Every structure is written in C-alpha cells, then in structure tokens.
A and B are shown apart, each in its own frame.
Chain A
Amino acid sequence: MTKASVLIVATRYDAGSYYTYEWARSLQQDLATMDHTCLMLDVGDLCRSGSSLANAIDCVDYIVFYGHGQKDEWTALPSGSSGSTTPLVNTGNVKILSGKPVYAGCCYSLDQLGAAYASAFPNGEYVGYSNQFVFETANHEFFRDIVNGSVTAFVKRASRQTVVAALEKAWAGLRDAFGGGGILQHRPNAFAASKYAEDNRLCVGYKP
C-alpha cells in the first residue's frame, strides 16, 4: 500500500461541527493505524495560535476539511455581530491549497470554491457537496462511516471520479437500508436518515 500524508482540518463550535469533529478524530485514527501520516488541526487553535495553514499544507499530500461551508468558503469561525463568517479558505485565497487533492466534508462548497480550485489547479482533484450536507444524530455513525470510508479510498489513490461514484452508491445503499425492508428500517428516525442519505447522494460531486 502506498503511504500518504494527510492534513485533516476541522472546526467545532456548534452541534453539527461537534459531531463532524469527532468524525475527523475517528478518521485520523483510522488513517494513522493504516500507517498513513495524519496531521489534524483544530481551526479554533489555528486561529488563536496565528499558525499558518499554508505551512501545514506544504507538508502533506491530501487536504481534508470537516466543518461548515458556504458556496465560496470553508468557514473557520461562525458569524459574529457583523453578520459575516470568517473564512478559512475562500475563492480569494484558494491558491493556498497548492493543487493538493482536496476532500471537503462540508455544505455547498463544490460549485464555487470547487470551481475556483479547478480554475487555479486544472490537474487538481476536489471532492465535495454542492448543497447542504445533512445527517441524523441517532444514526450519525452510519453517515460518518460513509464519509470517512470515502476519504480513506481517496487517500489510497482512488480517483475523484471513483470516489464520487462509490459515494453515490454508498448513500443510495444507506437510503435503502433505512427504508422499507432494509436492515436499518426499525432504527429511530429511520425515515429521516433515509431521506437525507438520498439528499447527500444527490449533491456529492467533484471538480474539475
């Protein structure tokens, strides 16, 4: 197996990002025990320390972000009194990603930030979501396993096309597992888990 070095960048400042931060920790453990080198940065710590994201990116083969996103940014900090969020990466500083393969585990970023990345790095690879990424808390481990499993495949050198095709299949499988006759049909809130697994299937994609 080819070893890779991976930077996982994650936020945790509300209910959603607390879950995905734990997914990121689990991913780090999975990758490290597969003998990949895996650095995890908490965005809050990064902001407080004044450390440079670019320095960390220089050291790695892959970049993974888990947290909140908008169409044109990965969000570092939530909106304050000014009403605007603080971006970690946006269309204005996308070159910081240095053309490294990117997995964006957040809402919305594929169409604008992903397009800006593709424009800056025509040979790059960006996997992300073009709409809201959604999960259901009573069954969040099933959502986590799909996302983390796809990152692992990406890091094992699967192409962005292969990763997204596998993700679409996995989300459809989860949708049906929570549906009638599925092995998870009697889990709490199964109808909602099924519905939002399908929504995730419909908005996952890649650039360029």
Chain B
Amino acid sequence: MDNEEEQQLLRALEEWANGHPQKDRPFLILMGRSYTPVEYYREVKDNDDFRSKLFRFLSEQAERSNERPLDMIIRAVEANRL
C-alpha cells in the first residue's frame, strides 16, 4: 500500500467517524478498553502500530475479496447514512 492509498484510507476513516450516528459512543470493545468511532479514527491516525495492523488487514481482506482496501471503508461510510 503506497502513501497515497494510506492517505485515502485515513480520509475515508475520518469521514466514517465524523459521520457516524453514534460517533461519541463506544462501538469497539477490546475487553479492557473501548473506542468510540472518533477515538478509533484518532488512534489509527496517531498510532503507527495500530494503523499498520488495520491497513495490513484491510489489504489482506481486500485481496481475499478481490476489491480495494478502500471499498470496506466506503461501505461503512454509506452504512452510516442508512
């Protein structure tokens, strides 16, 4: 994944977090801590290890699904609007 693709993913994640209908409520439970969508976006943006694990997963899953990594985030942005 090149830098431009990473920037696209970050922008899409920001759109997903800020457009989330419950952006300030925990959506992810790590059984020890939780993340709201906005906190999750900030963690991805600011934490290199966290970001690289997510982006690596998105790349691998996109390969399994024969699509772009960005497509998973775009669907989540669209799901916010339903």
Confirm or deny: B1 has a beta carbon within 8 angstroms of a beta carbon on chain A.
no
Does A192 contact B27, Cβ atoms closer than 8 Å? yes
Q: Does A121 count as interface, using CB distance less than 8 angstroms?
A: no
A190 at the interface (CB under 8 A from B): yes
Measured between beta carbons, the chain A residues less than 8 angstroms from B72 are 179-180, 185, 190-191, 194
B35 CB to closest chain A CB, in angstroms? 9
Q: How far is the CA of A186 from the CA of B80 in the complex (A)?
A: 10
Which residues in chain B, 22-61, are within 8 Å of chain A measured between CB atoms? 26-32, 34, 37, 40, 54, 57-58, 61
Q: Counting CB contacts under 8 A, is A21 at the interface?
A: no
- Do B65 and A189 touch (CB < 8 A)? no
What is the size category of the interface that chain B forms with chain A? 20 to 34
- Tell me the smallest distance from the CB of B55 to a CB of chain A, in Å: 10
Contacts of B27 in A (CB 8 A): 136-138, 189, 192
Instruction: Across the interface, name the chain B residue whose C-beta is closest to A140.
Output: B29
> Which has the most chain B C-beta neighbours within 10 Å: A16, A17, A187?
A16
Report the minimal beta-carbon distance from B41 to chain A, rounded to whole angstroms.
11
Stretch at the interface among A49-57, A93-101, A127-135: A127-135
Q: Which A residues are in CB contact (< 8 Å) with B34?
A: 15-16
The A3-32 residues at the B interface (CB cut-off 8 A) are 15-17, 19-20
Residues of A with Cβ closer than 8 Å to B?
A: 15-17, 19-20, 68-69, 106-107, 132-138, 140, 175-176, 179-182, 185-192, 194-196, 198
**Chain B residues packing against A (C-beta within 8 Å):** 26-32, 34, 37, 40, 54, 57-58, 61-62, 64-67, 71-73, 75-76, 78-80, 82
